[in-house]
Structure 1
């Protein structure tokens, strides 16, 4: 089972993950992840291109998060 399949099973098959779900996966607080993403660091450079805004909500592509985990 791939990392992407595990994430899809865990979060109901959604192709997008909320910031809170990504924070849970990375073992960070949601506010701490927001601060990290606003900085100039490797995590922000890798995750910001995968960000999708729908209205005021921020989501991240599940496939991209899985790739990030696999490469780390």
Structure 2
């Protein structure tokens, strides 16, 4: 488990995050992030492994999101 993953789990308390929580982490609006993810941008491709569909809900894996953050700042 990476430091980023530990911090995210401590802050949010769940291994899956909502779009609004991810938007807050990435300092974006939820609607702006939703639009970005629906396109074919670099950010959308890099966040795709973190995206999980559970029924109609879209959630994001903390482990994959932490990997994305670590790669972006590494």
Farther off after superposition, 21-30 or 45-54:
45-54
| Equivalent in the alignment of 2:11 | 10
Gaps of 5+ in 1: none
TM-score calculated relative to the size of structure 1: 0.91
For residues 10-44 of structure 1, the C-alpha deviation after alignment (integer angstroms, 9 at most, x for no partner) is: 001x1111111000000000000000001111110
For residues 20-69 of structure 1, the C-alpha deviation after alignment (integer angstroms, 9 at most, x for no partner) is: 10000000000000000011111100112321111111001101111111
Farther off after superposition, 32-41 or 49-58:
49-58
Q: Is the 8 A contact 2:50 2:62 kept in 1?
A: no
| Equivalent in the alignment of 1:37 | 37
Secondary structure, counterpart of 1:40 in structure 2: coil
Query: What's the Cα RMSD here?
Result: 1.2
Secondary structure, counterpart of 1:27 in structure 2: coil
Gaps of 5+ in 2: none
Residue correspondences, number: 71
Q: Return structure 1 stretches of 4+ with deviation > 3 angstroms.
A: none
TM-score calculated relative to the size of structure 2: 0.89
